[in-house]
Every structure is written in C-alpha cells, then in structure tokens.
Amino acid sequence: MKQEDHVAYWQESSLHDLESAEAIFLSQKYDWCLFVGHLALEKILKAVFVDRNDNTIPPKIHSLVRLAELSNIDLNDDQKFSLDKINDFSIQTRYPDYKMAFYKKCDESYVTAHLLQIKEFHKWFCSLLK
C-alpha cells in the first residue's frame, strides 16, 4: 500500500469509530461511547501522523497528546488538557479499579459534553490532512 492508502485506512477507520460512538451513545452505554470516541481520535491522529511524516506506520501508542506532538500539531494548554482527559476514557474503561467509578460518572450530560468535544477535535484533525 502507498502512503495515501494508509492515511485513508486510518481516516476511514476513525470515521467508523466516531459513528459507532454516536450509536453507542443512543443505546445509553455512555462509558463505552467515550471509550470508542477516544479510539476515533487516536486513529485520526495516526492518519495525520502518517500524512505529515511520510511514513506508513504510526507509532503504537495511545496517548492523544503524544500522537499530536509527533504529528507536529500545535496544541495550546487547554487543548492538551482536554485531550489528556479524553485519553483517560481509554484507561478508565479498561481497568476494573477505575471502571465502576467512571461508569457512575458517565451520565447523559457528562457524555454529551465530551462527545461534542471529541467531534470537534475529530473535525479539526481531519482538516489537517492533505
């Protein structure tokens, strides 16, 4: 596959995950909605990384802030804080010690606000692709 094929793969997979997060939201599985939202951002950042680094293999990491940095995306402190918080959704959903507390926090209004933020980041990151 060519570089642009790899970019398209990550971008399409990201869009699929974002659509899945929205469907999961409608099913009221709010914790998993945010988990999949994190995946959508991780994948679109990997598309940006591949696009900007003339590379076909993105780093095998999950940190949204680090992926943005490696993709030469300038983030202000608020954006870093927000991406770091979204990154926590991946950790809090996976590990039993954190899962129940996170599940209880994930009511409709909490998730609505964060899903909107995820969508805004996703739109921005998509706009960075060539």
What residue ranges define each of the domains in the chain, with the CATH number in brackets?
A: 3-127 (1.20.120.330)
pLDDT of residue 92: 58
pLDDT of residue 103: 82
Q: In the predicted model, is pLDDT for residue 129 greater than 70?
A: yes
pTM score, whole prediction? 0.94
**Rounded to whole angstroms, what are the CA distances from 94 to 35, 36, 68, 77, 91?**
9, 12, 23, 26, 5
To 5 degrees, how large is the angle CA 79–CA 48–CA 88?
40
Contact 17, 36 (CB under 8 A): yes
Q: In the predicted model, is pLDDT for residue 98 greater than 70?
A: no
Q: In the predicted model, is pLDDT for residue 12 greater than 70?
A: yes
Comparing 55 with 113, the larger pLDDT belongs to 113
Mean residue pLDDT across the chain = 93
| pLDDT, average across residues 115-122 | 98
Residues 84, 85, 90, 95, CA torsion sign: positive
